[in-house]
């Protein structure tokens, strides 16, 4: 069984999609061993507790500086002994030490078709606001492995979503979640847990079984 820890910052809709997929058997060979949030009051922690998953908060606000937080954060992650770390709407920069220690074992969901609308400053609703400002006709979501560079890791999967003429950032965000994010992330976790993908020479390769 692949031990999975999910990192969240907000309401946890992607977390819920993962929980539901595990319960339904759509994700197999996985144990959700922990949820960590940088916010103490978000709904995602409640979602985890309802599902019987240990949930904790580790916030940068509780530490004297980012270096001390990074050390405490990595220690908390280590306590869960994860095989895979899933960033499901996690808005805190991952410490370099964690990226190195868990190389090719951290994945992230990003609400655009990378390399569009990604990198520093592109997160949450801001991604969809920028997409609408640019006037794109198609957007979507991307699951990728996490490296030192922001949103620069090897791409696992992408799914396109149409942009409608009357879209707001909020309506587009919801459609991207419903049509792309909630499907891509559980599928990626299942693929990793069952050995269907691997990183070879910096690119994701699909293994036919």
Contact 151, 122 (CB under 8 A): yes
d(C-alpha 115, C-alpha 150), whole Å? 11
Q: What is the DSSP string of 111-143?
A: SS-TTTT-STT--THHHHHHHHHHT-SEEEEEE
pLDDT value of position 207: 87
Average pLDDT over residues 74-78: 97
Look at residue 96 and tell me whether its pLDDT is greater than 90. Answer: yes
Give yes or no for residue 209 having a pLDDT over 70: no
User: What pTM was computed for the model?
Assistant: 0.95
pLDDT of residue 24: 97
Region 139-165: mean pLDDT is: 96
Res 118 pLDDT > 80 = yes
State pLDDT tens for residues 158-206: 999 999 999 999 999 999 999 999 999 999 999 999 999 988 888 899 9
Percent of the chain with pLDDT over 90: 91
Query: Mean pLDDT, the chain, as a whole number?
Result: 95
Q: Tell me the catalytic residues.
A: 110
């Amino acid at each position: 069984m692949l031990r999975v820890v999910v990192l969240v910052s907000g309401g946890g809709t992607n977390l819920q999609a993962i929980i539901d997929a595990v319960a339904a058997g759509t994700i197999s060979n996985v144990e959700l061993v922990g949820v960590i949030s940088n916010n103490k009051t978000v709904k995602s922690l409640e979602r985890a507790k309802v599902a019987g998953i240990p949930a904790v908060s580790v916030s940068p606000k509780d530490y004297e500086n980012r270096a001390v937080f990074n050390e405490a954060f990595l220690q908390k992650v280590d306590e869960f002994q994860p095989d895979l770390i899933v960033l499901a709407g996690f808005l805190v920069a991952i410490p370099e030490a964690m990226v190195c220690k868990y190389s090719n074992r951290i994945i992230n969901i990003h609400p655009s078709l990378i390399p569009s609308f990604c990198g520093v400053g592109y997160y949450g609703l801001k991604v969809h606001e920028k997409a609408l400002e640019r006037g794109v006709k198609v957007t979507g979501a991307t699951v990728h492995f996490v490296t030192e560079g922001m949103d620069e890791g090897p791409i696992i999967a992408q799914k396109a979503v149409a942009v409608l003429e009357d879209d707001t950032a909020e309506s587009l965000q919801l459609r991207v979640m419903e049509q792309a994010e909630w499907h891509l992330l559980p599928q990626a976790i299942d693929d990793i847990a069952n050995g269907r993908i691997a990183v070879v020479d910096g690119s994701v390769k699909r293994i036919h079984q």
